[in-house]
Structure 1
Amino acid sequence: MFSIEKTIVPLPIPLVPGTSSSASQEIYSGGSVQLWSDYLKVPLHPKSVYVVRQYMHDGVCGCLEAFGQGESLLQDPGCIEELEDRLHFYVEECDYLQGFQVLCDLHNGFSGVGAKVTELICDEYSGKGILTWGLTPVMSDMADYQKNVYRLMNTALGIVHLSSHSSLFCPMSLSGSLGIRPQPPITFPYINYDASLNYHSSAILAAALDTLTAPYRLCSSQGSMTHLAETLNFSGRKVVAAWASVPFPALQGYSLPDTLCTYQQDVPWKLLSSCREKKVSCCFAQSVVLRGICKEHSISSCPGKQPTSPLHACENTEQALQHYLHTVFPGAFSTSHVLEQPCSTLPPYPQFFSPLLTRQGFLLDKPPSYSSAGVESIPVLAALQSSPVLHTLLYSLYKDLRKLNTRRWASFFAAGVEQDNFQDALEELRTLSQCYEVGFEADESEDEADLD
């Protein structure tokens, strides 16, 4: 897995902590910790880390802040040769190479680095899967107008270039919007996290990512990266949205059908792709993973009686989840996977959970009278969707950038991106957004195009 972000350190996935037994009960609150990887105790091979020395990590100046700066880094023959050498080192160790995962910042110059890396991988390993995850921070510095505009331009260029060279591209963030106007961060009913702490937000995203990628990482799985991409990216829809329920709201002692029946009108997950959520049950295709639900939760809690719903008539968790998806998303192509293994939340995972959760992450009717030692694991429901909500995400970003007078931002284009190329990228962003139009959205965008 390539992780192209400020830290240049792979995200610790799966979430298996490297702590001693004496620290297993410690409650982590975050404090001065900024990133998940600050707690990373997994030894990294020297060839797995490539340090960009030309730019500072988080200084006032000398930051990698523009897409063109990132692109120019990988135009250096020495840098490309070094990257190719590291790639070949790991590829030669593979018995069966499915493809590559690329984690990349979207909002800064690393979007340009990611664009060049995915282009390099696409050219070097054609036919292999490339799944790219574009990450943005929860909180943005809205007071600094230049940084905000740079964020928008980097994000737009990143989406266009990364999606064109990837099998599948997914923007991920707990931010409520990628656009010029700030939106409140995503909230979760049973997590009390601090949106200003990357330690907290990255832990939630890591739990979702660990769940979403399980179908092609498990030895027992029949699918692959390429298979997952092909089920979701037809008709030019190479961008997908991520959804997750962290934790999945399963009541202790109740069956899975009991839980799903309470969410017939409104699915329990939250959108993790920086877009104002629409209460519309509609998607073109989806891959759904439910983990941490044991077999005893799959059937009715009252065996021998007449099933109270079609869900209760299902024989196992797989059937119950598949039936639920077909009911809530009629006409959509849905694949589902059910894993008994829950998501581990032992230290260093932050303990920001509701007191209503048991140590195994199941819901209680009321907080326990005793003091809990912390939540050790949680069930998680996560989905990748090719959905009309992406039209809102992509087209809103396009509209925000169309309103800008790009001539005012000569410093951004001095870094290497031509203004004509930027305008071409904007049109590609608009075309990409049109792949997700349905009904009134198509009419609305056509009316706005006439006004342009």
Structure 2
Amino acid sequence: MRELVTLQVGSFANFVGSHFWNFQDELNGLAEDPYADPVFKNQSLNMDVLYRSGETHQGTLTYTPRLVSVDLQGSLGSMSSRGTLYDEGSSASSNILTWGGNVSTHAAEPHKKNLFLQSLYGEEQENSLTFENGVTGGENPRTEIHDRDKVESLENGVQYWTDFSKVEYHPQSLYELSGLWVDPQKFDNYGIGRESLSGGLQGEEISERLRFFVEECDHIQGFQFIVDDSGGFSPLAVDVLESIADEYTNAPVLLYAVRGPGSSVDPRSQKQRVSRKLHDAVSFSRLSSLCKLIVPVGLPSLSRSKASTFLWINDEKPYHCSAAYAATLHSLSLPFRMEPLGPTADSSYASGAVTVNEVVEILSGQTRQNMVAILDAAMPAPSLIGNQVEQTLLRHLQPLTPEIAKDIEDLQSVESISVHGALGPARGQRASVSEVKDMVHAAYEHATTRPMFCHLSVAQCPLPIPLPFPSIFGNRVGQHGELLSTPIIDSPSRGSLDVHSIPMAARLRSSSAVLPFLENRLGSLRSFGIARGAPGAELVRSWGFAKDELEDMGEVLSKMITTLDPRSQMSSDSD
């Protein structure tokens, strides 16, 4: 078996990860449910790639994500940093034997669980909640929590990523950056992150937790790393990447640099704008130089993008935006745990298994050693309908990577596509693996431009929609993700109570369409940090970077640009 270890670093990264693991938990539950759709039982997916089996001190068998999650102290809400399975209920108080004076204890009130978490852990309802549900003093105060109440409580009250997590975590998984006394709103650039983390043991402690999961793997295929690179978590991610490069030389890292819409709000002052531009350039350069493949994820406004054609998203809610990104990352991860085809393997449920390293090799190739890829998604993916299949799927794939060129013709582009749960021409029936393959091949044959190479992975298993998934589907999305010809009038948005599963398509592509993204960062680095009289020169020096280090970063970005398009040479005095 080729295991995958996942890291989540930063607030928005953990929002994305929380949804991602909810999908996996839902798949595990449906596989065991005798009344569930048989397609979830015949997934041809090896979930052990992402999960580890264990046992508590009481002898209870456990099945937990092979995960290390890092966030600021206090970011876990009502959840303990030891998770739930192994929580031994240690008391906050202790006997102090070496001090004879007065002792005062200051303890913060624990965060209250929302209705969803209360029902998940089987806790009794507070009297205030029963009152809100219309229960008077003469009625039984223990009322049943209905699914619609749980969904509404999440839509209106998610504050932490743990508020909607239905997953049980190993105590080695959840790590809070203790002793970091910084306002999360001000933890917003590479410099403040580097300063706050300098001299601490956080990097060593995180590496030790990572080592716990890696050392029990039989044959690790690589790391799936999700980082919120919009602020101070970038230098911490760099430290972890350096540790991985030192200890696990042959294990590739697939890095998703995710950002919520809030990180794209225009700064109010020129100083803040310069700081934001320099942070983006420094962060991307440092991160991309330490991983096999980096994928920028996060549009300035997901709700107004073509990717949300059939979605109903509130950009101001990380709970909403992270759900769409997590669904796409789930789709991309499926080929990493598909059962490889062998003499006795059944290809009727899944085909196109690859490892992380094979995807890296596909996208980098022999002639283009670029390390940045564009992410596209179709959510939901369209059905295979009659004679319109030639362009339908390709037309529905829309970018989730910001600042890229549109309708670019790149004869050297390479792609890796994952399609799962596609619906066939017949109403209510899923398309076979061979039908999807034929459709994609036909689409490329009829396309005006086609990639130099495309790897295709197909699975019949759709994306299951767990209860805590937000109500982000538009009123043209049906129960199984089919696109309705007539919208549902009385329901502008639909959630897990209305939509049970959806077909998905996701694509990673290496293309010169990403050049604007790279050129913007190289231009910012040179204009604001390197050029004579640069307005941000003193700022980056305060971050701890000398001019020669900035020039080295510029070389990293320049090389990525040149490998994508040798004709795209930016002048050293470019602004």
Unaligned stretches of 5+ in structure 2?
1-5, 27-115, 121-144, 341-351
Please name the residue that 2:238 is paired with. Answer: 115
SS in 2 for 1:11: helix
- Comparing 398-407 with 132-141, which one deviates more in the overlay? 398-407
Pair 1:40-2:178 in alignment? no
Please name the residue that 1:432 is paired with. Answer: 560
Please name the residue that 2:36 is paired with. Answer: none
Deviations 1:141-198 (A, max 9, x none): 3133344433322222222222221111101002269xxxxx9656511111011111
Checking the alignment, whether the CA contact within 8 Å between 1:277 and 1:389 is kept in structure 2 is yes
Q: Which amino acid aligns with 1:138?
A: P
Q: Distance in 2 between matches of 1:93 and 1:193?
A: 40
Please name the residue that 1:236 is paired with. Answer: 369
Unaligned stretches of 5+ in structure 1?
178-182, 302-311
1:142 to 266, 287, 303: 266
Deviations 1:51-82 (A, max 9, x none): 1124357545xx43332454566764733432
Shift of 1:449: 5.9
Deviations 1:12-49 (A, max 9, x none): 42443677696555545732324554311312222112
Shift of 1:111: 1.3
Please name the residue that 1:225 is paired with. Answer: 356
Say if 1:256 and 1:416 are closer, same or farther in 2 by CA, change over 3 A. Answer: farther
Please name the residue that 1:410 is paired with. Answer: 538
Q: Distance in 2 between matches of 1:435 and 1:230?
A: 15
Say if 1:15 and 1:44 are closer, same or farther in 2 by CA, change over 3 A. Answer: closer
Shift of 1:436: 1.9
SS in 1 for 2:20: coil
Checking the alignment, whether the CA contact within 8 Å between 2:381 and 2:422 is kept in structure 1 is no
Say if 1:375 and 1:340 are closer, same or farther in 2 by CA, change over 3 A. Answer: same
Pair 1:260-2:386 in alignment? no
Pair 1:3-2:8 in alignment? yes
Q: Which amino acid aligns with 1:275?
A: E
1:246 to 379, 384, 387: 379
Alignment of 1:75-86 (within 5 A): 76=199, 78-86=201-209
Deviations 1:207-266 (A, max 9, x none): 01111121113345642111111111232211101000111133xxxx3564533538x6
Pair 1:285-2:421 in alignment? no
Q: Distance in 1 between matches of 2:157 and 2:250?
A: 43
Q: Distance in 2 between matches of 1:365 and 1:354?
A: 12
Alignment of 1:371-410 (within 5 A): 373-404=497-528, 406-408=534-536, 410=538
SS in 2 for 1:337: strand
Pair 1:211-2:331 in alignment? yes
Say if 1:13 and 1:209 are closer, same or farther in 2 by CA, change over 3 A. Answer: same
Please name the residue that 1:308 is paired with. Answer: none
Checking the alignment, whether the CA contact within 8 Å between 1:55 and 1:64 is kept in structure 2 is no
Pair 1:169-2:289 in alignment? no
2:180 to 33, 55, 58: 55
Aligned residues: 422
2:156 to 16, 25, 31: 31
Say if 1:411 and 1:399 are closer, same or farther in 2 by CA, change over 3 A. Answer: closer
Q: Which amino acid aligns with 1:418?
A: A
Please name the residue that 2:100 is paired with. Answer: none
Larger Rg: 2
Checking the alignment, whether the CA contact within 8 Å between 1:292 and 1:341 is kept in structure 2 is yes
2:439 to 320, 332, 339: 320
Pair 1:102-2:225 in alignment? yes
SS in 1 for 2:522: helix
Q: Distance in 1 between matches of 2:443 and 2:273?
A: 41
Please name the residue that 1:419 is paired with. Answer: 547
Q: Percent identity?
A: 24
SS in 2 for 1:51: strand
Q: Distance in 1 between matches of 2:353 and 2:307?
A: 34
Output the TM-score relative to the length of structure 2: 0.66
SS in 2 for 1:432: helix
Please name the residue that 2:67 is paired with. Answer: none
Deviations 1:378-425 (A, max 9, x none): 111110000111112111232244332645463443232223312331
Checking the alignment, whether the CA contact within 8 Å between 1:104 and 1:134 is kept in structure 2 is yes
SS in 2 for 1:336: strand
SS in 1 for 2:205: helix
Please name the residue that 2:401 is paired with. Answer: 273
Please name the residue that 2:284 is paired with. Answer: 159
Q: Distance in 1 between matches of 2:539 and 2:177?
A: 21
SS in 2 for 1:236: coil
Q: Which amino acid aligns with 2:382?
A: P
Q: Which amino acid aligns with 1:287?
A: S
Checking the alignment, whether the CA contact within 8 Å between 2:13 and 2:258 is kept in structure 1 is no
Alignment of 1:354-373 (within 5 A): 354-368=474-488, 373=497
Say if 1:110 and 1:147 are closer, same or farther in 2 by CA, change over 3 A. Answer: farther
